Every structure is written in C-alpha cells, then in structure tokens.
Structure 1
Amino acid sequence: MTFRTAALGALVLLTTALAHATNHTRVLFIMADDLRPELGCYGSAAVTPHLDALARSGTLFRRAYCQQAVCNPSRSSMLTGLRPGTLGLYVNGTHFRELKPDVLTLPLWMKQHGYTTRCVGKIFHNWHTKEHGDPRSWSAPEFLHYANHGDDVPQVTGTLPPNFASLSGNLRQYGKVPLCECREVPDEAYYDGRVAAEAVRVLGEVKDQPFFLAVGFWKPHAPFNAPKKYWDLYQRDKLPAYNPARPAAAPEIAFHQSTEILGPVENQKQPTAEQAAEMRHGYYAGISYLDAQLGKVIAALEHHGLRDSTLIVFSGDHGYHIGEHGLWAKTTNFELDARVPLIIAPPKAKQAGTSTDALVEMLDLFPTVTALCGLPDAPGMEGVSLVPVLKDPKSTVKEAAYTQHPRPPYPDRSPRAKPEVMGVSVRTPTLRYTEWRDFESGSVVASELYDHSREDPEMNNTVAHPVSAVALEQARQLLYRQFPPQQR
C-alpha cells in the first residue's frame, strides 16, 4: 500500500467517524438531588434563570412523579426503567447490582450503541462505598460520584470566611459541617461548583463524539450551605409562608420523624420559627446555586456549538418537605415528596416553551431518551416513551403515576432487607389514593385519599367520607392494577 493510499484511507475513516458523530443526537442528562418543583418556571419564588431558560427551549412536565422518595431506589428505578419492586430495592445502602447483577442501565444501553458515556457528580446513589459506582455503564471513571453530603466542607485558600448562618447552629451538626452555612466563598468551594467545572472540561473532551454526559448535582440536598451570594438573592421574611399542620385524619404511618434534618429522635430539638425560616432560606439558596452551576454547563455546550444537536434532560430524583406537614426531607408518599421537576428539551424542539399536565413517571426517561436518539427499545422496560407528549403536550401516555415507600422509612441496609409495611400510592389527574399494606400478609393497615381538585389538596384525608365513591373506586382499581392486593 502506498503512502498516498493509506492517507486517503485514513481520511475516509476520519470523515466517516465525524459524520457518525454529527448525525447522533448527543445527550446532556442533568439531575438534581432533593429538588421538588421549586423553580421559577413552575411559579415558585426561587431564582432560577437558567432552568427557566431551559424550560423555554423544551417541554416542562407539571405532573412528573418519582417511584420512591429516597435517593437510591429512585435513581436506580429511573436509570434502569424498572420499578423499585422489580429491583427489590427500597434502601439507600444496597447497590442495585447486588440484587440484579446484569440489569441494563440507560448509560450502558447508550454505550452499547456507540455513545461515549461519562458521569460527573452524583448520578447513581453509591456514596456508601468508593468502589460502588457503576463502571460498566461509563466509558471512563466517574468524577465525584462518591462522597457524603456531610463531608462537603468548603475548600478555600487562606482563612475560611465567617459563617453568617447561625440560628440553626445549635440545632445540630450535619456530618462535618453546620446544618446551615452561609460563607463568602467561590462556587468551587463546594461539590457542585467542582462538578460544574469538571462537566465543562469533559464537554471539551467529548465534543466531537456522540456522547451521553450525565451531570449529577448534589444540591439542594442538606446541608444548606450554598455560597453567600445565593443566600443574598432572597429576603428571608419575603419567602412564601408554609403550613406545618398535618393533614386532618391522616394516619400516623404516613409520616416520619425527620431524622435526616433534625437528627436522632432521642436528641432532637424541634426548630424554632426562626430556625425553620433559616433552613428554608438555605434550601432556596441551594436551588439558586444549583441553577447557576447548570448554567455554566449549558453555556459550555453552546460555546462548542452543540446546543442544536443535543437533547437536554433535567430532573430531580424526588421531592422534599421543608416544614410542611411538620416534616423535613423526604420518605413519604405525599405529593411534595413524590412530585419532581422535569424538563425535556430536544434539539430544535418544535414545541419549545410548552408545558404539559400529562401524568408521567421517572422510569419513563429511559425509553424516552433512547427513542429521541433513534435507538432500539431496551428490553423489559416498565416505563413508556414520552415522545407523544413532546409532540403534543395535550396528549397523555398513561392514566396514573405510582409512588411507593416502606415503613420504617429506612429499613435495614442489608441487601435482602424487607420492610414491615409498604405504602403504595396512585396519582390520577384529580386524586391521590394510598394504601399502607403489611409487607408479608398484604393486609391494609391504613389508607388515604386526597382531592387534588381542591386549592389545598393534601390537608384533609377524605377516604372515610369521599366526595365521590365512584372516583375513589376508580383510583383504587388503578392502584390494584399496578400493586395487586395479595390473596388473603
């Protein structure tokens, strides 16, 4: 072979590779931690200009629901397209591959179909062991996927600036840091600033390839420690009021003891009104901090000229309580924990700037992403593609969305741990119906019904006196379709 022939052959291969990369829809998959739909584009007081802009370029889902309101089960379900019950996974401390060693994940399926797959930040929930990312899903080692929220100590050069958040200082310490922390430090002092910086770097590295880049931000999860400039976006006394009352007639099993925020029950101090206000302020600050980091990543995408060839998906892993119902954090089946923000912005979206009230579930993301990228359907998916809704925001793809959560809310961390009671919940367009079932016998120990056609829907459990017995029975039958009652 002559040098000229070899050179021409190499040029053809390079041209083919570049065309292959150009023709692929790239994917930027961004996830937030403990973020309920508290964004400006959802009508919230939160300052989120970058997410609001993203919503204007795609479709905002107003009724998106997680499958279990705690990190590991929710993320594992979302990224495998399987329900927690199918995975047998209800706890944070068990890696999904301990239970299903060969299960497909969304990034693995993308990798098997020619994509470079990269992970920056918290995507799979595996902080409990350094080795337990999911190496087979990624084309290169993960970055900052392993950490503990309580270890997010600000990293600065020189003397650490003072903490202007002090009211919650005597409530409890959150790992190695205060529960609330407000310091004049750069964004990169905390995890999410470094996640954004690495995501920008990785984009430069993979920009000429078909890529699936997953960027997992750690905020607004506690501790509430965004840099001070994000706290300064809000006046604490102007933040929306909240109702700490429990829903009337709600069963005790529907609640939990908020130990993630308030600490062990035996040492708990109930927050004063001022302390609660500071934590709520910190939660909003964390949202704005997250938004700013996301903005850096999307700006880098635009800098490389990739925005018009990239599918952007943004979601939370589950919702959150910041004092409502007397609860802090997650692990319930209430709407505030089950509902999540979801924005899908396909390249050159024809329905840009729209929103939809279609009921959707987070396990629908796997088949949606693959469909938008023109890939074959992965086998065994329990979710459905949301492409019909992206084409017509008034359309629907399912009658109901389902969430479940065990009691105790944090069962034993062993791989085969079983809860004592499982709460299974169905959300229809107008109702949320929940049954709490003994995990062994299936007997119903409590039930709830909330009317979401009301202005303040989850403040009165009406299951004993429903407005419509027919509507209740319809919701019950929808619940039984997904979670059949055991034979007694």
Structure 2
Amino acid sequence: MKRKYALAGALALLLAQCPAPESYAGDGPKKAKQQYNVLFIAVDDLNNDLGCYGNTFVKSPNIDRLARRGVRFDKAYTQFPLCSPSRSSLLTGQRPDVTRIYELQTHFRQNLPDIVTLPQLFKNNNYYSARVGKIYHYGVPGQIGTDGLDDTLSWHRRVNPRGRDKDEEALIKNLTPDRGLGSALAWRATEGTDEEQTDGKVASEAIRILNEKKDEPFFLAVGFYRPHSPYVAPKKYFDMYEESKVPLAPEKEGDLDDIPEAALFTKPANWGLSVDQRKEALHAYYATITFMDAQVGRVLDELDRLKLTDKTIIVLWSDHGYNVGQHGQWMKQSLFENSARVPLIFSVPGGTRGKSSSRTVELLDIYPTLSELCGLDPGQKLQGYSLTPLLKNPAAAWDKPAYTQVRRGNIFGRSVRTEHYRYTEWDEGRAGIELYDHGSDPDEFTNLYKSDKYTATLKELAGLLKKGYPLTAQ
C-alpha cells in the first residue's frame, strides 16, 4: 500500500513540474467533423532503414506508399529503446519515470492501476477496440501465441497468431549462440507462404476484422513481429538482396575512444563477428523488413478495397530503433541515434500528403494526437504533445525536444535530442557525458563534450535535460 501511494505521489509531482503539452492546453481537444476509424500499425524492432527514409538499398514499397499518403516524421524518437518500457509509455501517454517500467517483466498496471490507455480511450467511447499481434509487450519469439503482458481493459477482442516460424525454431541459425533467440543475430530463410508465418497470420486476422467491422467505428491495432530477431521470412525475400552487396554501417578508426563505457551495449564490438557474418545478419534483417512490409501492404490493400481509407486515420510506428553495427553496436538499448530514432508516419483523411517534418517528436505524442484528431477527451494529463499542427504544416514552429532514456545496470543514461544536437548523461554525468553535433556529424563519431567551443551549448542542453527529467534533479 505504501508503494502505491509513493508512486501516486511521484506521478503528481512529475506532472506538476512538467509544462502542459498542447494536447490539453486551452479549451481541450476540438471535436472532429466526422468519426474516423483508426488503423494503428506497430512494428517490432524496426529502424529507419526504409526507402521513404532514404535507404535506397532496402525494399519497403508499402510503407513508402503510406508515407506518400501522409506525413513522415524524420526526427521521431522512442522514450526508452526497449520493447516494454517504450510500449508502456506510448500506450499510457506517460514517460517511463511515471510508468516505472524499465524492464520486460513488470506490467504497467502494477504501478498505474487506473490509467486509461490509448486503445481503452477509444473502447470507452464506443469504438470497437481490437488487437492482433504484439501491441503491449510479450517476448519474441518465446511468447508468440500468448497474451504476454497484454492489457485486458484496452480491448474488446485480442488475437494472438502463431505461425510456422515459431514451430520451426530448431531450424534457425544463430550467429551468436551464447545469446537467446530473442536477442541474438539469428535467421532462417524458410519455405512456404507468407500466410503461414506469424506476421502473415497477423495480416490475415486484421483483414478479417476489417471485413467484420467495416460498418462501425473501430480502433484496430495491428502488431507485426518482424524484423525482431530471429530474422525469419520466406526465402523469396532473402532472394531480393545480394548478401555480398549489403552495405555495412560506416566505421571510423578510434570511434570508441571518446565514448563512455556505459554507452556501449554490444561488448565486444559487433560481438566479435567477422565482416561476412555481419553482412549475413544484416541481409536477414533487411529480408524480414521486406517481408513485414508486404504484410502491411496486404492490410492497406484491404482497407482500400473496402473503401475505408477515406475515413480511417493510419499511424505506423516502431517501438524503438535498431543498431546494425553503428559504433560496433547491434539491436537496441543504447542512446545512439540509430537506436533512439524511429519511423513514424501519420495518414489522415483529407490531410497533408507526401510531406516530411524535421521537427523533433516523440512516440509519446501519438496518444494526444489521435485523441485530438478523433475529438476524444483523455480525461487525464498526457505528457506528449499533439502533432496536429505539424500534420497541417510539417514545417510549423515547434520548440519541443525529444527525450530518450535507458537503464544500464543500476544507473540510467538520459538523452535529449534537439533538431541540431544530441546530449547524453550517464548516471547524471558521473559515468560520462556525450554531445554530438548532427549538423556536421550525423553518424555521431565525435563526442564534443570536452570542446571549449561548445561550453555554452553544453550548459543549455544540460538544463534542457534536467527540465525533461525533473524528478532526477531532486
């Protein structure tokens, strides 16, 4: 009981210290002119290696066409580069220091039992709320086919597909055999059809629900599992790429010399894999992106066929980014750009099409944005900002930075990203500080923390970081 009241007090303190976001400033959300459906597409462990984000090697035609239908956010960031903390934050509208979810075992309702989640808001407002696949956290591949850490209050219906990728795990090749499949560089080019795979079943079940509920308002959350490891997809998607031509992340001699030890998740660098093994892993990662993209395309095609596109808001997001060799790092759980940055695309009927925004936004902003677009009052303070001004004008004035944090053992790393800089403190600076100038160093090769030229910038960004994490300044 004492713990519950302590958490409630921490929540009240943090919300009191945080500036009120646009989503609930003034008179509250405006009523929408019509009742939109929501197609809420989540992708697991997807970075920005997509055609629409400028990667000309990766084939992602369906996500690319969704970007042409709406607004692509080029500087969107996760709040915590790990599945459960990120998803708990996004779906509750609260930062990780409020949800207190920093790992993969604790359910957010243990700490926030009365919070109204994003899908629950729609469910409470006469929308049919359904989930297919992974929206809240559960382990991949171990918990495929189960509810995992799902939230029963959020949905009218829950579907947990399980495909042959799960049944054939014994055939998967693991390049890092000392790591479990869910956190390994492991892959399989399988036989059979798309529809036999778990992601293929996700698309099929989503299509079934679209047909069943086409005549009533719905919030349909479609959670794809790939490209989360193990990287499993039908062989035809592997055949789309020539492994020898897979481009590896750029490297620079001495790159790690100015990086704090706490910043590194992958040790040793690249887990000791050779260049050929890294190409093999990245080949598989990209093949699964293209496979997942094809399943997204099946759902979008059905939405078009049912003539629902003109009354459905579509949002596509990934729970965090993914390192594929940058600084010798792989996967998530780091505060480098490739791990913190995520794809985020909004398509709104009658809205801006084929534009991009370079403003710094957060996954936390999805909840207030959908609330405002659909004219729903969350009835609680949300810590994100509504993106509706940027959906109308992607270059609109915007001074909100993005905050990302991670836990490393008993300490935290916390980072603030502006349009020009990334500033990071490990254990409030005691375990290291990083500053990167993205205007001249987009690969984050040079830590400017000790540069006299950036003294004023460091002071400004340190203040901005403390503003974003007020409880840590107590």
TM-score by length of 2: 0.86
Q: 1:36 maps to what in 2? A: 47
Shift of 1:317: 0.5
Moved more, 173-182 or 202-211: 173-182
Q: 2:405 maps to what in 1? A: 404
Mapped to 1, the partners of 2:230 and 2:85 lie a distance apart of 21
Mapped to 1, the partners of 2:153 and 2:176 lie a distance apart of 42
Q: 1:144 maps to what in 2? A: 160
CA spacing shift, 1:378–1:166, aligned 2, 3 Å: same
CA spacing shift, 1:150–1:84, aligned 2, 3 Å: farther
Q: 2:454 maps to what in 1? A: 468
Matches within 5 A, 1:83-162: 83-127=95-139, 130=147, 132-140=149-157, 142-144=158-160, 152-154=166-168
What SS does structure 1 have at the residue aligned with 2:432?
A: strand
| Matched letter for residue 463 of structure 1 | Y
Q: 2:218 maps to what in 1? A: 211
Shift of 1:201: 0.6
Matches within 5 A, 1:28-427: 28-44=39-55, 45-127=57-139, 130=147, 132-140=149-157, 142-144=158-160, 152-154=166-168, 168=175, 174=181, 179-243=186-250, 246-257=255-266, 270-349=272-351, 351-408=352-409, 420-427=410-417
| Matched letter for residue 424 of structure 1 | R
After TM superposition, the runs of 4+ consecutive aligned structure 1 residues lying more than 6 A away are: 169-173, 175-178
Alpha-carbon displacement from aligned partner over 1:242-299 (angstroms, at most 9, x marks no partner): 135644401000011369x99xxxxxx6222211111000010011011000000011
Mapped to 2, the partners of 1:323 and 1:177 lie a distance apart of 14
Q: Which has the larger radius of gyration?
A: 1
- % of aligned pairs identical? 40
What SS does structure 1 have at the residue aligned with 2:444?
A: helix
Instruction: Tell which has more relative contact order, 1 or 2 (C-alpha 8 A, sep 6+).
Output: 2
The yes-or-no answer on 1:446 pairing with 2:432 is: yes
Q: CA RMSD in A?
A: 2.8
CA spacing shift, 1:175–1:448, aligned 2, 3 Å: closer
Q: 2:18 maps to what in 1? A: none
* Contact kept? 2:39, 2:219, Cα under 8 Å: yes
Mapped to 2, the partners of 1:173 and 1:470 lie a distance apart of 45
* Contact kept? 1:68, 1:404, Cα under 8 Å: yes
Shift of 1:173: 6.8
* Contact kept? 1:81, 1:366, Cα under 8 Å: yes
* Contact kept? 1:172, 1:179, Cα under 8 Å: no
* Contact kept? 1:121, 1:195, Cα under 8 Å: yes
Mapped to 1, the partners of 2:431 and 2:48 lie a distance apart of 31
* Contact kept? 2:247, 2:279, Cα under 8 Å: no
Q: 2:423 maps to what in 1? A: 433
| Matched letter for residue 63 of structure 1 | K
Mapped to 1, the partners of 2:227 and 2:395 lie a distance apart of 31
TM-score by length of 1: 0.83
* Contact kept? 1:65, 1:360, Cα under 8 Å: yes
* Contact kept? 1:169, 1:178, Cα under 8 Å: yes
Moved more, 68-77 or 387-396: 387-396
Structure 1 residues without counterparts, runs of 5 or longer = 1-21, 263-268, 409-419
Mapped to 1, the partners of 2:406 and 2:211 lie a distance apart of 40
Shift of 1:61: 0.2
| Matched letter for residue 123 of structure 1 | I
Shift of 1:203: 0.7
* Contact kept? 2:175, 2:184, Cα under 8 Å: no
* Contact kept? 1:62, 1:341, Cα under 8 Å: yes
What SS does structure 2 have at the residue aligned with 1:133?
A: coil
| Matched letter for residue 224 of structure 1 | Y
Mapped to 1, the partners of 2:46 and 2:213 lie a distance apart of 28
CA spacing shift, 1:397–1:324, aligned 2, 3 Å: same
| Matched letter for residue 458 of structure 2 | L
Shift of 1:168: 3.7
Shift of 1:71: 0.2
| Matched letter for residue 121 of structure 2 | W
* Contact kept? 1:360, 1:398, Cα under 8 Å: no
Alpha-carbon displacement from aligned partner over 1:315-371 (angstroms, at most 9, x marks no partner): 11000111221111110111111000000000122x200001011000100000111
CA spacing shift, 1:123–1:130, aligned 2, 3 Å: closer
* Contact kept? 2:87, 2:135, Cα under 8 Å: yes
Report the number of matched residues.
435
Mapped to 2, the partners of 1:108 and 1:318 lie a distance apart of 23
Structure 2 residues without counterparts, runs of 5 or longer = 1-32
| Matched letter for residue 155 of structure 2 | W
Mapped to 2, the partners of 1:107 and 1:447 lie a distance apart of 38
